[in-house]
Structure 1
Amino acid sequence: MSTFPGHNLSTSTFLLTGFPGLEQFYSWIAIPFSSIYAIVLLGNCVIPHVIRTEQSLHEPMFYFLAMLAFTDLCMGLSTIHTVLGILWGFNNDISLDACIVQTYFIHGLSCTESGVLLAMSFDQFIAICNPLRYKTILTNAKVIQAGLIILLRSALSILPVICLKFFHYCRHHILSHSFCLHQDLLRLACSDICFNSLYALALVICTLLLDSLLILLSYILILHTVLAIASQEERFKSFQTCISHLCSVLVFYIPIIGLTMVHRFGKHLSPLVHVLMGNIYILFPPLMNPIIYSIKTKQIHIRIQRIFLLKRD
């Protein structure tokens, strides 16, 4: 395993920090992290499998849920090799090319997840506010189109990350996380980073911020519709259908806000705080979403129970 002191790095190689100050505990830290990654991979494989094999779940809401699970699965896969590589003592070096690819996928998948959550909020809005036209508005073709638009938006909007390949890195080559992030690479560049910094800010405003505002708007309209329902039982049933999605929205946006605040205003904080916030941003949504939907969504819950009971028999 590479170490910090006297470590010679080529101009196209970077050193991942890992968990500063806790190096002697890596073998212990590796156990919970390996467990988390195992749950992330298993949970986000089970959800799409259940949706694919259960005919009654072939509806727009569950198609969007499968997209969310696939995005979370890819997010876990994008960082597992560097995080566990450091903790298990395999390697903490990463080439510039590999770093840029990882950066592209991490930020691209974040953009994708935000888009999927927005699509799911639109699904909830139609189901509650205009239920009679639900099947005519959200056809399979429309769901596929929405999925393709979300993927295309993410793939194209993150493309300027490739510019990092042509930057000159004259400072130390030590990254502050267990994986590569755009702002981390910018911090080490000696080239003019003005465009990248402004573009990153514009991208956050045009995707994450705009998506979150549209999700908020959809829930204001849903709330207005639900409160107009006379029956208290029907109100409760309508709110119940939104709980899982609301939890996923909070699980996704709160870590992003936290990481942004730490990067912008937490210069005085310990490097370990930055690393922990980065890992929460990467791992918390993929870990929690399968758990949320397995518990809160009755159809998924019953189907998963059947799978494991059959295996037990």
Structure 2
Amino acid sequence: MLIFNHSSFTTFTLMGIPGLQSQHLWLSMPFSSIFLAILIGNGAILSLVATEPTLHTPMYLLLSQLMVVDLVSTLSLMPKLLCLFWFNDQNIAANACFTQMFFIHGTSVVRSALLVAMAFDRYVAVCEPLHYNTILSHSLVRCLGLVALSKGVILILPMPVLLQRLTFCHMVIPHTYCDHMALVKMACDHTRPNRIYGLFVVLLVVGVDLLLISFSYALILQAVVRLKSQDATCKALNTCSAHIFVILVTYVPGLFSFLAHRIGYNIPPHAHILLANLYLLIPSMFNPIIYGIKMKEIRDKVAKCLCRGTASAVGPRNKTVSK
């Protein structure tokens, strides 16, 4: 058996989706469509928030941070995945592999932390509406973003560091990207520290963040129950609806993928890999759609931009006809 330590190897080989290698070209079509939808959707929301002064509010500033994280996560995954599907480019340098792993897992942590910040934003909007702008100042929003970023860096940085001390028995990764657990399973020597730390990060991020989000919504629900007006109740619930949908889109696929990876021993390998990819892509694809549908301000701005585009296209044509 060949054994590689961190000083002797230079590249890993990505297998892709085990059992479906012959279908990679066909699979590239839906993945390319998802990639394009993510770039257009998140880019459009970011452009809208950046160019419209009326959207420079705490909620939309936090939303723009979430869109940036979604783009970074997608760009860390998709270029190499599409090269693998289109050109069978399986090789990835060890340093590039560890870097990809850091960004993919790090952005997942940052996304979860931003959802906690957005839950706090919704709590203030519903429970302290008169003090909303005072409590959630632009400086606090920036601090929340920095805390989320720091959390991702601090929790994920030890993973590639711990991996570099391992000796690897083979260099073929049965995955489409450099996943932490996929790399750990390739090691020949003692991997308990890696496994324990990986589980610790998952439990800390998902457990603590979901607890904080649940606590925020428990306070929101308590405040909503006290409202005597049905219109006020509906308005308060509608204020939180987009964020609730984003939470479900983010955590449900992630928890399903996590449980399938650890207890779903009868699930085929290709299903595991497809779930792992969709867990990363689904939130990035649906977040701009959810906010575009649920938030009236975004719908109004998009409609306004479309009307401007239609008017500018029709205007010159009418001038030509009149001449």
Amino acid across the alignment from 1:13 = T
Q: CA deviation at 1:204?
A: 1.9
Letter in structure 2 aligned against 1:66: S
TM superposition outliers: structure 1 runs of 4+ over 3 Å: none
**CA distance in 1: counterparts of 2:175 and 2:152, whole angstroms:** 23
Q: CA deviation at 1:174?
A: 2.2
Q: Which residue of 2 aligns with 1:148?
A: 146
Q: Please say if 1:202 is aligned against 2:200.
A: yes
Partner of 2:13: 15
Q: What's the TM-score, normalizing by structure 2?
A: 0.90
Equivalent in the alignment of 1:168: 167
Rate the CA distance shift 1:151–1:19 in 2: closer, same or farther, 3 A.
Answer: same
Alpha-carbon offset, residue 217 of structure 1:
1.0
TM-score, normalising length: structure 1:
0.93
Structure-1 residue corresponding to 2:266: 268
Deviation at 1:310, TM superposition (A): 2.8
Aligned twin of 1:3: none
Contact 1:36-1:287 within 8 A present in 2 as well: yes
Q: How big is the shift at 1:64? A: 0.4
Matches within 5 A, 1:56-135: 56-135=54-133
SS of equivalent residue, structure 2 residue 167: coil
| 8 A contact 2:117–2:144 mirrored in 1 | yes
Q: Once the 2 structures are TM-superposed, how far is the Cα of residue 166 of structure 1 from its aligned partner?
A: 2.9
CA distance in 2, matches of 1:24, 1:184: 22
Q: Secondary structure at the match of 1:94?
A: strand
Q: Which stretches in structure 2 are left out of the alignment for 5+ residues? A: 1-7, 314-323
Equivalence map 1:224-303=2 (5 Å): 224-303=222-301
Distance in 1, Cα, partners of 2:80 & 2:144: 32
CA deviations over 1:254-275 (Å, ceiling 9, x no partner): 1110111111012222111111
1:220 is displaced (CA, Å) by 1.1
- Alignment check: 8 A CA contact 1:97 1:165 kept: no
Deviates more, 1:193-202 or 1:280-289: 193-202
Displacement of 1:90: 4.2
Residues 48-67 of structure 1, C-alpha deviation per residue, up to 9 Å, x if partnerless? 11111111111100000001
Work out the CA distance in 1 between the residues paired with 2:261 and 2:13: 19
Alignment root-mean-square deviation, CA = 1.4
8 Å Cα contact 1:129/1:222 also seen in 2: yes
In structure 1, stretches of 5+ residues that fail to align are 1-9
1:181 corresponds in structure 2 to 179
